[in-house]
Chain A
Amino acid sequence: GAVVSQHPSWVICKSGTSVKIECRSLDFQATTMFWYRQFPKQSLMLMATSNEGSKATYEQGVEKDKFLINHASLTLSTLTVTSAHPEDSSFYICSAPGRFDNEQFFGPGTRLTVL
């Protein structure tokens, strides 16, 4: 099946710094990618839809200026957590749809810890 990678797999940063997370589709192209956030022992919450060549679509309650999304190419989307604070600590997961609209391929996730 299709593979989606994320980098880094984990990151620790100081409060106030910015962190960039990459999501790549390794063997297929994705004009759309999705970013999720998962708190410990909780479900995945959709944050935003990343669109290649246009602006991302954010879910209600997600700060656009806080979570910057750039879909630079057909295989890469990045999520930048700006001026990170401890409450931003979470597990961030991306996904990309496959060739058929009933497939979603998930990345392994990125664990962000903000000190």
Chain B
Amino acid sequence: AQSVTQPDIHITVSEGASLELRCNYSYGATPYLFWYVQSPGQGLQLLLKYFSGDTLVQGIKGFEAEFKRSQSSFNLRKPSVHWSDAAEYFCAVGAATGGSYIPTFGRGTSLIVHP
């Protein structure tokens, strides 16, 4: 069975500082990997995804993530954080199932941004 570990429950950064959110996955084959962002009381918005090819993936809002098979990791990065980035971030791994995929989510990392 697939699983996702997000080791950091909370991350606090200053506005303008760089950010890295950690994600490790467990899956028997090549995974589909995703990062989602959830603002308070809102649904999930897809930031970026990886299926194959270039291991460095660019997403929306200036985010990027790098797939490292040897480390089973898919860490999310942003060079300069904005106050509006404060939210909950979820890493997910998905396996294609009958024409669609069902993601398994990590527990999430709460990002706090100090002015």
Contacts and interface: CB of A to CB of B under 8 A. Distances in A.
A108 interface: yes
Interface in A61-115: 91, 93, 95, 97, 101-102, 104, 106-109, 111
B53 to A, nearest CB: 13
B45 to A, nearest CB: 8
Given A34-B102, A97-B101, A101-B99, A43 B108 contact: yes
Interface size class, chain B: 20 to 34
B106 A43 contact: yes
Which of A91, A95, A104, A109 has the most C-beta atoms of chain B within 10 angstroms of its own C-beta?
A104
B49 A102 contact: yes
Contacts of A106: 36, 43-45
Interface residues of A, number: 22
B41 interface: yes
A38 B94 CA distance: 18
B41 A102 contact: no
Nearest to B36: A106
B38 to A, nearest CB: 9
Given A93-B44, A102-B51, A32 B100 contact: yes
Given A4-B43, A91-B41, A108-B42, 16 more contacts: A6-B43, A32-B99, A32-B100, A41-B108, A41-B110, A42-B108, A43-B106, A44-B44, A93-B43, A93-B44, A97-B100, A97-B101, A101-B96, A102-B94, A109-B41, A109-B42
